[in-house]
Amino acid sequence: MNKALLIALVFLMSLPTFAQKKSKEHLKKEASVKEYIWSEKKDFRAITIPADLEDQSAIILFREVKYIYNRPHNSIEYTKIEHEQVKLLDQVAVNDFSEFKFQKTAHIQGLLNTFILGVKIIKPDGEEIQIDVDNEAIKEEDENKLAIPNLEKGDILDYYFYSNIIVSENDLYQFDAIEDIVGEHYPILDFKFSLETEKDFFVSLNTYNNAPELETYDALSKENKTRLYGFKMQNVASNDFPRWFYPLVALPAYKFQVLFARTRKHEKRANAFMPTDVNTIKKDINKEEIFNLYEDKFSPYGNLGDVERFLKGKDFLNDEHKVTEAFYFIRHKYFTNYVEAFVLDESDIMYPYGYYKNPIIFNSDAQFIKFFAAFLKDNKIDYEILIATKRYNGLIKDLLLEDNVDFVLKILTEKPLYIEHFNQFSTVNQISSLLENSEAYALKVVDRKHIEDIQLTSLPASNHKINNTTESIAITLEEDFSGMQINRMSATTGHNKVDAQKDRLNFYDYIYKDHKKYGTKPVLDQVKKEKDRLRYKKEYKSLLDKQKEKQLKELEKQTESEYDLEVEDYTFKVLNNGRFGVEDPLQFAEAFTLKEELIRKAGNNYILLIGKLIGGQADIDEEHKQRDNNVYMNYPRSYSNNISLTIPEGYSLQGLEKLNKNVQNQTGGFTSEAVVTDNVLTIKTNKYYQNYFEPAANWPDMVSFLEEAYLFYEGKILLKKN
């Protein structure tokens, strides 16, 4: 549990009131909020802790989350209140709740904001100690800290967050969607959720994963302008939130969105799944409603002149080939072609946009889909538009919030192609790993123009062999064994490549290759005046030199983090940027020195901690070898290593048998083989995760290969003096 994070998230929506002198109105508001939340007195000594919870570090006696949407005067007001009472049962809990952190943020333009934090300690004898938040909070540059003094075992910490936003008059306003779970790290004896709204607020709201069904406490009527919805839960179990876990799929949860629309005309402009009227709570979405929302939003549209000129005179093997080549051209023409201009403008080197005639920029996925649909229509290639949601949101049949929708183009060539969002690294058939292997709705397009039906379909899956990272590591020991030289070649494909490209590539690693491939000119080459062009290029080169120096330092730190060791003499080179296909690898070469950390002298011999060269591995402690939660992973994947070491003359190796491992089962595996041939040690390892999902019952199988990988990571060999 992280209370610091909880406050930080709340505070991101609020004005940093602690950094300024408070007005009389604000002080009055604080007093009224305090009275509202703390007016009810409880006899905490009458609360009995269940016997099965006595071994917990803390117990949340009461937790309430309340949202209020109303219309004061001509404004729209949003209020959130979180109130929690926690009994601290041991020193671990005392330490956990001893400090609150909250970030400072800039004022949100156009919104009036208020944030209030209240904290008090209730001692076992009933004494209440209120914390003076204003005076006790330490104001630092980036955040405020509040230490909670005199906390002790047996105390009850009672605190609340109050945040309020007032939006000026608006005919249509769509509030951010809310998705949250009921549970926390500690068990909750009594939980309460409520949502209060006035007229003209449309509400989509439901509960999931065995959370109680919603209750209606007040109905909207002429006499009563407010409605209150909510649910209550008792004895909510604790959860340790382990790795590979989707809380919104596994734990009791609720999701909702509130939209304000003044008239029916404004309702129709909303980009949301709305209830039919303000008196109805929308609890689910059927496929017909999805069809109705998107039926007219993807009509093919766009100026295809550049694409037609690119295609003219070219021969393609088939429609798959044509679609693929067109996509990569569009990616360059309307994205990477502008990257250099963005850099020049942001760096104040020059104003570059005059060198682009009628530039096309896609500001949303929908705009790109409409443009690409126009290309498909002109080339008589059929397609569908898939409506999907990421697996951590739950199943598509439980879709409620438009914010959770992702769009995927399915091109109906002989072998279907899938195209998702548009960025510098997007490739054909590389859809989000979180959309793969799930059900979706297909909007059926007739005559490549009109959406006339919707059907349930499935998105494809990938496998651990495609989502692979392979590292080839050549080790050269220093003559005096003071360190080792490492030459590492890395190749990564599939989903493993996505994050690697973001980490390893900068814009200059691909834009000039794109210019050459597609016959376009960098902006600076289009500057006609030689004097200006030379000056701009000089300034631009200086900028690039600084960027490359910064990139090298960041990559060096990243490599140090991988090995948890200091490296020296680091170099890096991109061999292939991997931007033209799922299996087109990102390849790069690194060279660096590791000092004595992996070499230990033992008399006349040396111990090499060679297992460390496969990078850090998951260490599953005894507590986490048992697991009740199912295992949710983003995608199947594999990691391979090929390590080679020339054995120094006059030495032989011992301990290779401990480096040979083979554990494979239905969930994945770890294999390693170490052999010596012609005085060269070669080690090959492969760790792979087989599936997207494992039931908790399969966790022991995962632990078995994860443990073997960790044992290899701890592995040593002995260089014995002959």
How confident is residue 169, by pLDDT bands cut at 50, 70 and 90?
low
How does strand 484-492 pair with strand 599-602? unpaired
d(CA 495, CA 283): 34
What order do you get walking across the sheet with 156-167 strand by strand? Answer: 128-130, 111-122, 156-167, 76-88, 58-70, 188-197, 227-236, 215-218
pLDDT attached to residue 1: 38
What is the set of domains in the chain, with CATH numbers? 1-37+55-169 (no CATH), 305-458 (no CATH), 468-508+538-721 (2.60.120.1130)
Contacts of 449 (CB under 8 A, 6+ apart): 299, 300, 377
d(CA 214, CA 229): 7
The β-bridge partners of 720 are 652
How does strand 468-477 pair with strand 637-646? parallel
Please report, as a single letter, which amino acid is at residue 650: G
pLDDT attached to residue 157: 94
Q: What is the mean pLDDT of residues 128-138?
A: 84
With a pLDDT cut of 90, the percent of the chain lying above it is: 73
Considering 131-140, 265-274, 587-596, the range whose residues carry the highest mean pLDDT is 587-596
pLDDT attached to residue 9: 35
pLDDT in tens, 442-497: 999 999 989 999 999 999 999 999 999 999 999 999 999 999 999 999 999 999 99
How confident is residue 141, by pLDDT bands cut at 50, 70 and 90?
low
Please report, as a single letter, which amino acid is at residue 163: S
Q: Of 139-143, 211-215, 414-418, 446-450, where does mean pLDDT reach its minimum? A: 139-143
At residue 130, does pLDDT exceed 80? yes
Q: What is the mean pLDDT of residues 139-165?
A: 86
Are 154 and 86 within 8 A, CB to CB? Answer: no
Q: What is the mean pLDDT of residues 268-274?
A: 78
With a pLDDT cut of 70, the percent of the chain lying above it is: 93
Are 623 and 513 within 8 A, CB to CB? Answer: no
pLDDT in tens, 46-99: 788 888 888 899 999 999 999 999 888 778 889 999 999 999 999 999 998 988
How does strand 227-236 pair with strand 172-174? unpaired
Q: Of 263-272, 378-387, 559-568, 633-642, where does mean pLDDT reach its minimum? A: 263-272
The token pair at 229 is 């919805």
Please report, as a single letter, which amino acid is at residue 503: D
Q: Average pLDDT of the chain? A: 90
pLDDT in tens, 194-205: 999 988 889 999
Q: Which of 594, 597, 610, 600 is nearest to 674 (CA)?
A: 610
How confident is residue 427, by pLDDT bands cut at 50, 70 and 90?
very high
Q: What is the mean pLDDT of residues 282-288?
A: 93
